[in-house]
Amino acid sequence: MLKSKTLRKIESLHPKNDAWEIVRLSMHYEFPWDYNRASEYALYKTYAVPSISKLLHATKEFEKNPQKRYDDTDLLLSLIIENGITQGKGKDALERMNWIHSNYKISNDDYLYILSTFIFDIYYWLNKYAYRKLIHNEELAGFYVWQEIGKKMHIQHIPETIEEFRRYHDNYERMHFKYETSNAIISKVTENLMLSWYLPEISFDMFRPYLHAVMEPHLLKALGRNEPGFLKRNIVAKALKTRSKLESIIPRKHPFIRSINNFYKSYPNGFLMNDLGPQKLMTSPTCPFHKNN
C-alpha cells in the first residue's frame, strides 16, 4: 500500500516535540470519521464503571437531552485538540470543561481512567477498523497530547510512559467493570441517540446488536448486553473497514475541522462557548462564564 503524503509527514515528525501536529494530521486528514467513532467508543466504555454511570444517571443530563450532552462533549474536546490548550478557544474550552467537572464529585482514579480511554480505546478502534493501523509515532503522540491535557485538568499520578498507562487502563477495567443498572440505563440512552441518527425508533432493538458488535466481551458483560455473535461482528468489521478504505482512496486536501462544520444538531445556527454545558450550571450566577461568550 502506498503511503499517503500525510503519513510520510507524520513519520518525519518527532512523537513528543510534534505531538499535537501529529494528532491533528491523523484526526483531520487520515481518519476524520474513524477518529470521531473511536472517541464515541472511548466515552461509551466509561459507562461500564458504576461510579461513573451512577453520577451520569444522577445528573439526568443524558435522559433529558442526550443530543446536547453529546454535542457539548464533542465540541469541547474538538476545540481543545484543534486549538491547543495554551490560548484562545482551546484554552477557553479546557477551562470550561474543568469548571463543569468541578461541580461534581469525581475521583482521581475515574478521571485517570477516562483520560486513558482517549488514548488506548481510540487506538483500539483505529487499529481494528480504520484503513490502516496507527504507526508508533501516532500512538506516542496521542499519549503525550492527552498526558498534557490531563495535567491541565489537574489529574494526579498520570503515568510517565505509555506502557505504564496501558497497564493502568487494563488493570482498572479488570477491577472496576461491573454490572449496575445505571450502566445499562446510560448506555441504552446513548445507543438510542446513535441509532436515531439513521433509523426510526421502531427499529432500534433490531439494529442494536450491530452496535454491540464493535464492543469487547468484558464491556458487554458490564453493561448487561448479550454477545452479538461472530456473524454480526464480522459483518460490522468488514463494513467499517471497507468504508475507511474507500475514504482513503482520494487523499484529503483540506483538514476536516469538526468545530467549524456547523453540523451539530443542537446548534444548527452555530454555537457560542456560553452554550456548552449543562444549562442549570451555565445559567447559574456563580458560573464564571455566565457573562462571557
Q: What is the pLDDT of residue 1?
A: 60
pTM, two decimal places: 0.93
Percentage of residues of the chain with pLDDT beyond 70: 94
DSSP code for 214: T
* Nearest-angstrom CA–CA distance, 251 and 184: 40
Q: What is the pLDDT of residue 280?
A: 64
Q: Which three cell numbers stand for residue 36?
A: 470521531
Where is pLDDT greater, at 104 or 61? 104
DSSP code for 8: H
Q: Of all helices (H) and strands (E), which one includes residue 53?
A: helix 50-59
DSSP code for 206: H
Burial label for 247, CB within 10 Å (0-12, 13-18, 19+), is middle
Q: What is the pLDDT of residue 291?
A: 46
Average pLDDT along the chain: 93
What is the average pLDDT across 163-190?
98
* Nearest-angstrom CA–CA distance, 206 and 186: 19
Exposure string over 212-238, b if 16+ CB within 10 A, otherwise e: bbbbeeebbbbbebeebeeebbeebee
Check: CB of residue 23 under 8 Å from CB of residue 139. Answer: no
Check: CB of residue 22 under 8 Å from CB of residue 9. Answer: no
Q: What is the pLDDT of residue 292?
A: 46
Q: What is the pLDDT of residue 293?
A: 43
**What is the per-residue pLDDT across 184-241, written as a single tens digit (0 to 9) for each?**
999 999 999 999 999 999 999 999 999 999 999 999 999 999 999 999 999 999 999 9
**What is the per-residue pLDDT across 193-204, written as a single tens digit (0 to 9) for each?**
999 999 999 999
Q: How many CA atoms lie within 13 A of 37 on its CB side?
A: 18
Q: What is the pLDDT of residue 26?
A: 97
